[in-house]
Amino acid sequence: MYTTRSILAAAIGVALLASAAPGIAATDDSIVLGAAVSLTGKYSTNGKNTKDGYDLAVKVINDKGGVKVGNKAYKLKVVYYDDESTSARGAQLVERLIGQDHVDFVLGPYSSALTKAIAPVTEKYKMPMVEGNGADRSLFTQGYKYMFAVLNTSDYYLRAAVNILADEAKKAGRDPKSIKIAIAIENDNFSQDVRDGVVEDAKKYGMQVVIDDKLPADLNDMTATLTKVKALKPDALMISGHEKGAVLGIRQVAEQKVYVPMLALTHCDSAQITEKFGMESNYAFCGSQWDVSMTYTDPWFGNSQQYADMFKKAYNYDPPYQAAESTASVEVFADAIKRAGSLDKDKVRDALAKTDMTTFFGPVKFDATGKNIAKSMVMYQVQHEKYVVVAPAKWAEGKPIYPAPTWDKRETDSKVTRK
C-alpha cells in the first residue's frame, strides 16, 4: 500500500513538472508547427507517409533559406505526437500541442475521421490548420474558419470514371441513359462521399445505379455483391474502401471471374495493387489526388518528378499522393506566413484565405469553406501492370481502355506476354 502511494506521488510529481516545463515553441528563430499523426494503429502506414511528406517539406524549405517574415528568416520545425489512429487521442494531443507546447500553427493528421476530431479544437483556439489528408465533404459544411485543405474532396475520386463512361457511350453511339453502374463501398464517411459523387454524376447523365451496396466495416468477402454483379451485368463496378477495399476488389473480381467493362477503385497505389496482383490488376481505373506526371512547378521542389526523386532518395520508397499532399500543406503555410509578414494567428489565417499559388502538387486556392477549388484529380488506369493517367486530358499519358477485355481474352494475353 505504501509503495503504491509513493509511486502515485512520484507520478503526480513528474506530471506536474512536465506541465510546468516551458513550451517547445516560440524560440527566436524558428516557427514551430504541431502535428498529431498516426504512427501506430490502423492508419500507421499512411501516417508515416504524412510525416515523411511534412519532414521533406521542412527540410527543403529550411535548406533554401527558411521562411522570411519581414526581414528575418525563420526555420520551420515540426513537433509530432502519435494519435494511435484514434479520434479521441488526436483531439487530446492537439489540445496539448496548442495549450502546453504553444506551437505556432497546426498541420493536419491523416484521414478524414481524425481531421474531423481535430478541427473543433483548432477552431476553438483560433489556430490556423492546413491539412492534406481529410477529404470528407462534411468537413467543409461546419463553417470552420481556420481549417484549410489542399486536396480535392472525396466525392471527386470517381467522378472522372463516370465521365469516361459517358464519353465512351457517346463514342459507341449508345445513350448514356442505358449505362448501368454498380457501387460497393465500405460504410465510412470517406467512401460514402465517394459514392455520393458517383451517384450525383450518374444522375446528371441519366445513368442507372443498379447495385448500391455498403460493405460492413469488417468486410473480408464480397461474394454476395459480386454475385449480384454477375446477374445484373452493369457497365461499371465502383468500389471504395481504402486499401482493404482495393485489395479485396481486385482479388475477388479476378478470382471469381466477374466481368465488368469498367472496374473503378480508390487507394490503388497505396494498396500496391500492381505489385500484389500483377496482370489481375490490369484495366482497373483508380482515382488519385496526384501523379508524378503532372507538370506543375514550385520554387522549392521543381516539378512532381523532381519531388518524387527527392522523396525516394530520402525515404527509399515512391511517394504516394498522401505524402505529396502533406508536403504541399507545409508549402502553403510557408507561403501564407511570408505574405502575412507576421506570426500572428489571425493575420496568417487571413493570408491563408487569400492563398493563390502553384505547388508541384497542383494549384491551391481556397474557397470560403477552406477547400481547394483550383486543383483537379487524376484518373489512372492500370495498363500492362503500370499506372497510366487517362484523365483529365491535360495530363493524360494514354487513352482509357474501355470496355476491358473479357477474362478468357485476358488469359491468352497474359500467356503471350509471359512467353
Residues that bind other proteins in the complex, under the rule CB under 8 A: 40-45, 184, 187, 212-216, 218-225, 227-228, 230-232, 243-244, 247-248, 251, 255-259, 271, 276-277, 407
Which CB atom, from 71 or from 220, has the smaller least distance to other proteins? 220
Contacts for 254 with CB less than 8 Å, ≥ 6 apart = 277, 280
**At closest approach, how far in Å is the CB of 49 from other proteins?**
11
Which CB atom, from 133 or from 376, has the smaller least distance to other proteins? 133
Residue 399: phi, psi to the nearest 5?
Answer: -90, 145
**At closest approach, how far in Å is the CB of 64 from other proteins?**
32
Residue whose grid cell is 497546426: 106
Which CB atom, from 150 or from 181, has the smaller least distance to other proteins? 181
Which CB atom, from 24 or from 279, has the smaller least distance to other proteins? 279
**At closest approach, how far in Å is the CB of 110 from other proteins?**
11
Which CB atom, from 111 or from 376, has the smaller least distance to other proteins? 111
**At closest approach, how far in Å is the CB of 47 from other proteins?**
9
Which CB atom, from 187 or from 306, has the smaller least distance to other proteins? 187
**At closest approach, how far in Å is the CB of 223 from other proteins?**
5
Q: 409 exposed, middle or buried (CB, 10 Å; 0-12, 13-18, 19+)?
A: exposed
Cα(399)–Cα(233) distance, rounded to whole angstroms?
Answer: 24
**At closest approach, how far in Å is the CB of 10 from other proteins?**
25
